[in-house]
Amino acid sequence: MSELQSSPLFDIAINVDPPHNLGVTPLGTRRIVPVTGGSFSGRRLSGTVMRSAAADWILVRHDGSVLLDVRLTLKTDDDALIYMTYRGIRHSSPEVAQRLANGETVDPSDYYFRTTPVFETSHEKYEWMNNIICVAVGERLASEVRYKVFEIL
């Protein structure tokens, strides 16, 4: 068995609006974060994040960890549509979590933020994306989320 290897797929910046807070549910504190656009760029593809077809369903667990359930539609520069979905986790100390909640810029090395993107498309040029697994390393800013997305080889 070999060790995992990866290759950079693209960097993505996702613009977000303030969350809709559903409050404390039996599973934790639920928030829905509207995605208002963004862009991505990599060696094999680049384009924009579609505004009207994306959101982040967040669950803040009782231990403070943030569970992500994100669904995006990417539009490549050559007009292909790619459905991107990922689940992930962001975890930090309570102090760092509060700073992030306040919209402060926090060094990403001060918190753990990882996701597992997968893709779906019918476009011939990008059908290879239907059969890959990725891992992304995230950074949370006040009105934007950034990821470095790596294809697992």
pLDDT digits (tens, 9 = 90+) for 43-82: 999 999 998 888 999 999 999 999 999 999 999 999 999 9
- Facing residues of 8 across strands? 150
Determine the Cα angle at 150 with ends 144 and 152, to 5°.
Answer: 150
Could you tell me if residue 72 is inside a domain?
A: yes
At residue 33, the pLDDT reads 93
What's the pLDDT score for residue 2? Answer: 84
Q: What is the mean pLDDT of residues 1-22?
A: 93
Q: Domain containing 95: what range?
A: 6-152
Structural domain contains residue 104: yes
Residue 135, pLDDT score? 98
The CATH number of residue 121's host domain is 2.40.160.20
Q: pLDDT of 75-122, one tens digit each?
A: 999 999 999 999 999 999 999 999 998 889 999 999 999 999 999 999
What is this structure's pTM? Answer: 0.93
d(CA 78, CA 42): 14
Strand pairing class (28-41; 134-140): unpaired
Decide if 59 is inside a domain: yes
pLDDT of residue 106: 95
Q: Does 111 reside within a domain?
A: yes
In a domain, 1, yes or no: no
Number of domains in the chain: 1
> What is the arithmetic mean of pLDDT over 35-50?
97
State the pLDDT at residue 52.
Answer: 80
| Other C-beta atoms lying within 10 Å of the C-beta of residue 54 | 23
